[in-house]
Amino acid sequence: MTAPPATGMSLALPRAGALTEALLTPDADAVGAEDVAALRDRLAGDLVALVEELPTGERLRLDGYRFDMAREHPERCRAVEGPFTPSPLVCRRAIGLNAMARCVRGWSPTPAAAVAEVLAAGVEDVADGGDPSSTRPPWWAGWYRSLPAGGRAMVEAEAVTWATQVWTALEWDRFAPAPIVGGGDDWWDCPGTRRLTLRGRADVRVRGDGPPALLVVGSGLPPSDWRSALGFPALVSALARGGSSAPCRVVGLWPASGQVRILPVDAAALSETAGAVVAAVATWVDGRLEAQGLPVT
């Protein structure tokens, strides 16, 4: 199998122009519905056999985080997962995306103002928790509300920094219609089993006449197999939404390093990613078996 061709990006300043262009430029070979249907059948066949080996009663939800862990730190798949612990670093994306959505809609003038508004609204939603007519509070809001002022300030500062980096990375007024910032994750329940769900996530979804393009924001440096990392949200989106909605490309942005990677999404790219997903699920299944002292088959 040959890897999809790498697509370059102009390094001319300001870089936001080139990055925006990368999201607006359609790729010629959009994935067809038939390609996705065939891939879905093949993938489901491979995955069902694998997850049936999971220890009794266990299910696997493979999201981008676990997908990366299986590829980069397979030994960690053997560890018992502790309870989820929020932190400023962990919350920054969720808060930052809400803030950017406010900026895109013109409700807030700057990321900093938007983050403050999002945090205030989150606290309000928690306070209204008993009122059935109120909005369901975001997952971080209860924890954030419990923090002292200094802790809250760190959450706000981290979210402002993240949102500002992403906000300044694009020329937002060039998108028509306005892109979806954050939005819902894509979920795909593997047919033939109730024990595996794939969860894909994109930070920005750019809509146009053709298939959407996705922006995925990463931390630090791009992983060595960035094609799989970018292909994962595209694959889950294609599986969950159907072939005609498959993204045409995924642009990865790593603000801390200023790195950008572009993955044109064609049938070969999806197939390559599907192979990586099968390998990741196998790693997780082995890890769960080893964690329980069961033999790995």
Partner 1 sequence: MAVTAVGQAGVVPRSSSTADAVRPPEGAVLLERLRGQGRARPAVDPGLAGGLRDWLEDGLAGVTDDLAVDGGSVRVTKEALTGVLMCEAHLVARRSSPRNVTLELVRGSLVDALFRQWVTTGRLDDPWSDALGAVRVDGDSDIIGFLDAMTPDSRGDLAREVAEHAGGVVARWPVPSPSWLPRTQERLVVPLVGGRVVLSGVVDLAFGGPAGERASVCVVEIKSGRRRIEHRGDLHFYALLETLRSGAPPFRIATYYTRTGELDVEAVTDDVLVGALQRVLAGTGRLCRLAAGSEPARTANGLCAWCTALPGCEPGQERAGTDVPRQAGDATTDDDFSLLVETETGGAGGTEGDDRP
Binding residues for partner 1 restricted to 114-133, rule: CB under 8 A: 116
With binding defined as CB under 8 A, does residue 169 bind partner 1?
yes
Report the nearest approach of partner 1 to the CB of residue 25 (Å).
20
Q: Which stretch binds partner 1 (CB under 8 A): 158-166, 175-183, 228-236, 280-288?
A: 158-166
Q: Which stretch binds partner 1 (CB under 8 A): 24-32, 47-55, 187-195, 217-225?
A: 217-225
With binding defined as CB under 8 A, does residue 12 bind partner 1?
yes
With binding defined as CB under 8 A, does residue 107 bind partner 1?
no
With binding defined as CB under 8 A, does residue 154 bind partner 1?
yes
Report the nearest approach of partner 1 to the CB of residue 147 (Å).
6
Binding residues for partner 1 restricted to 184-213, rule: CB under 8 A: none
Binding residues for partner 1 restricted to 248-267, rule: CB under 8 A: 254, 256-259
Residue 281 structure tokens: 């699920």
Identity at 54, one-letter amino acid code: L
With binding defined as CB under 8 A, does residue 10 bind partner 1?
no
Residue matched to tokens 């993240």: 162
Summarize as ranges the residues that interact with partner 1 (CB under 8 A): 11-16, 65, 68, 84, 87-90, 92-94, 109-113, 116, 139, 147-158, 160-161, 164-165, 168-169, 219-221, 224, 254, 256-259
